[in-house]
Structures are given as structure tokens and as C-alpha cells.
Chain A
Amino acid sequence: MDKLSIGGKLLDSRLLIGTGKFPNKSIIPRVIESSESKVITMALRRVDLNSQEENILDYIPKDCILLPNTSGARNAKEAVRIARLAKAMGCGNWIKIEVISDNKYLLPDNYETAKATEVLAKEGFIVLPYMSPDLMAAKSLVDAGAAAVMPLGAPIGTNRGLQTKELIRILIDEINLPIIVDAGIGKPSQAAEAMEMGAKAVLVNTAIATAGNPVEMARAFSLSVKAGRMAYLAKAGAQRQYAEASSPLTGFLND
């Protein structure tokens, strides 16, 4: 399989996975292993002084790239603050920008996202912005110095698949950066569909974390992302309106 290049790194796996919503954190190392993912997302929060909490990093293999997100940020300024805290914590310089002020659909604010992207890219971060698929917004993210563009397939956590398919297709066609479909992918078939369309990678969290068997679901996603990528590279045959026989139309036995 061809490798994915982002921010100067060559990645074997085109599946990025999140660490939220797992009923039991101790399953995360086995999920990461069966997913074969090497880019793992996490969030930053205030320490709860009333309880001793586990550290999510204890569950992530050391050879993975950490992709902290800026969830909780409602504007560019807050996203920049969270990104700098992540770096201070030793997470490296990759950051997923997530700027959200809409609590019902959790749709990202593309304008504030571009502002944060510009500031952080200048500071040397490898910036992967989560965005609503819109061509002009994606272009502004390119100009702002993003390392990839991550449009949503459907609202976060909905498992509804590629509802924004046509808009994502336009981004894949027009944007000269890796397009990573983030949010909404609920099933491996949907991940494969995104990859067949030419997405360079997908980011999955809820679909794996809330599956009956997260370890097996992670493996299913890994296979589907590979299958989708292979199919994209192999170039699908053309669609037709009418039937075209697959078997020869001559030499029938009753001729």
C-alpha cells in the first residue's frame, strides 16, 4: 500500500483513531493495535482535583503520533491556547483544530478555524483542521498553512456516514492537500466509500468506541480503509445506464 505523507511524516496506515467514549480505557491498546493506526487523537481538560484520574497516554503505544484536539474551544483564541498547552505537555507539534460554538450539531466554525490554523502553522505546528466541507473555507485553510483538511461526513458521534459526500468530492477534486474525512463515519463500508472517492485517510472514534466489540471493529475499519484505498488506486470502471453483458453475445448453444 502507498504511504500517506502528512507534515513530513510517512504513514503506513490511513486510519486515524480517537480515544473518546471507550467504556473501559484498558481496551484502548488492543484497539490501537488491531486498527494498525499510528495517529491517535485525545483532548485536554482541567484536572479534576477531587478524583485521581488515569492518564490517557498510559494507553497509547509510544510509536504513535499524538494528535491532541482543541475541543472545548469556541473561537480561534481558545484553540490557540489549547494547542500551546498540548505542546507544553509534551504532545509534539501535531494539532487537530476543533472550534465549535454550536452545541446541538457540533458543527465547526470554519472562519475561526482558519484564524487558529494560521497562527499555529506559523508557530511550527502541523495543523489538521476539522471543518464543514466548503470549498472556499478549505482554500482559506490551505492559505493558512494547514497540513491536511478534515471535512465532516456527518455531525460528530452520529454514525450517519457520508451525508456531505458531494461537497467532500469537490474538496478532493480541488484541494491540493490530503483530505481526511473526520466525524460521522459509522461503518467500515462508509470508510471504504470515502477512500474509494479519493479521501487520503479517515478519522474514526465513535463507530469503534461504541461498537459491541471495539477491537474487532477497529480491525474491520483497518481492512475497509485499505480496501478503499486499493480500489481508488485501481480506478473503478465506468457506470452505465443500461446493461452490458459480461459474457460473449455469440456462439450460444441454440444458434
Chain B
Amino acid sequence: MIVNGKEMDFGKITILKLLENLNLGVNKVAVEVNLEIVPNENYSEYVLSPGDKIEIIRLVGGG
């Protein structure tokens, strides 16, 4: 799968487990899979597949 433009191999994994693996807090990011936003409450059930394109977004300072 591709996470934020980077090729990664986690096999079949839920979004929750992926975020845990990457050390990211679930409440501090938004996740898109193949350009579709996945609601926070679905992270524990949503199983990612190899080939999925995942974007993990966070808030930064800005004007």
C-alpha cells in the first residue's frame, strides 16, 4: 500500500492498527483511503488492502 506517497507493506491491516504502528493518535489525524474520507469511528473495522492509497493528514500552523 502507499501511505502519504510512500510504499509500505503491512499486509492486511485495519486503519487503527496502521495508525498505532506509525505512532499516530487517532484523534489528531484524518484518513483518506483512495480519496474517500474514512470516519474516525470506522478505523477499528476498516481493513486496508495492498494497493490502497492512504493519506494521513494533520493540522499544522497556518494563516
Residues of B within 8 A of A (CB): 3-6, 22-25, 27-30, 32, 35, 37, 39-40, 55-63
Task: Kindly provide the distance from the CB of A182 to the nearest chain B CB, expressed in whole angstroms.
Answer: 8
The answer to whether B59 and A89 have CB atoms under 8 Å apart is yes
Q: In residues 41-90 of chain A, which contact B (Cβ within 8 Å)? A: 41-47, 49, 52-53, 55-57, 68-69, 71, 81, 84-86, 88-90
> Does A159 count as interface, using CB distance less than 8 angstroms?
no
The answer to whether A21 and B61 have CB atoms under 8 Å apart is yes
The answer to whether A19 and B24 have CB atoms under 8 Å apart is no
A89 to B28, CA, bound (A): 7
Choose one: A49, A71, A89, A205; the contact of B6 (CB below 8 Å).
Answer: A49
Contact flag A45-B37 (CB < 8 Å), given A88-B30, A205-B63: no
The answer to whether B60 and A89 have CB atoms under 8 Å apart is no
> Does A22 count as interface, using CB distance less than 8 angstroms?
yes
The answer to whether A55 and B63 have CB atoms under 8 Å apart is no
Residues of A within 8 A of B (CB): 18-22, 25, 28, 41-47, 49, 52-53, 55-57, 68-69, 71, 81, 84-86, 88-91, 156, 183, 203, 205-206
A90 to B5, CA, bound (A): 24
The answer to whether B63 and A88 have CB atoms under 8 Å apart is no
Listed by A's residue number, 18 A-B pairs whose Cβ atoms lie within 8 Å are A18-B61, A19-B61, A43-B62, A44-B60, A45-B58, A46-B4, A46-B58, A47-B24, A47-B29, A47-B56, A49-B3, A53-B60, A55-B28, A56-B60, A69-B63, A71-B63, A88-B40, A89-B29
Choose one: A41, A45, A56, A183; the contact of B57 (CB below 8 Å).
Answer: A45
A28 to B6, CA, bound (A): 32
Contacts of A52 in B (CB 8 A): 23
A81 to B23, CA, bound (A): 25
Given A19-B62, A47-B56, A56-B60, 15 other A-B residues pairs in contact with their CB atoms under 8 A: A18-B61, A18-B63, A19-B63, A46-B55, A46-B56, A47-B22, A49-B22, A52-B23, A57-B59, A85-B37, A88-B37, A89-B28, A90-B27, A90-B40, A183-B63
Most A-side CB within 10 Å, residue of B23, B28, B35: B28
Task: Kindly provide the distance from the CB of B1 to the nearest chain A CB, expressed in whole angstroms.
Answer: 13
A49 to B32, CA, bound (A): 16
The answer to whether A56 and B37 have CB atoms under 8 Å apart is no
Contact flag A56-B59 (CB < 8 Å), given A49-B4, A49-B22, A85-B37: yes
